[in-house]
Amino acid sequence: MKITIFLIAIFAVAVVYSISECDTAKYLENAGFSSTQVPVMVCIAKYESSYNCGATHDNTDGSEDFGLFQINSYWWCSGGPISKYDGCHNTCQSMFSCQTNANCARVVYEQQGYTAWYAYRSHKSECDSFVIHC
pLDDT value of position 24: 99
Considering the domain 2-128 in this protein, what is its CATH number?
Answer: 1.10.530.10
Give the closest residue to 101 by CA, choosing from 58, 62, 40, 51. Answer: 51
Give dist(CA 48, CA 119) in Å, integer: 6
Domain boundaries in the chain? 2-128
Spell out, as residue ranges, where the chain has pLDDT lower than 50.
1-16
Is 65 an annotated catalytic residue?
yes
Helices 21-31 and 98-112: crossing angle, nearest 10°?
A: 60
The 10s digit of each residue's pLDDT in 103-124 is 999 999 999 999 999 999 999 9
**Phi-psi label, residue 70: left if phi above 0, alpha if psi -120 to 50, beta otherwise:** left
Is 61 an annotated catalytic residue?
no
Q: Which of 48, 58, 61, 64 is catalytic?
A: 48
The 10s digit of each residue's pLDDT in 52-66 is 999 999 999 999 999
pTM: 0.86
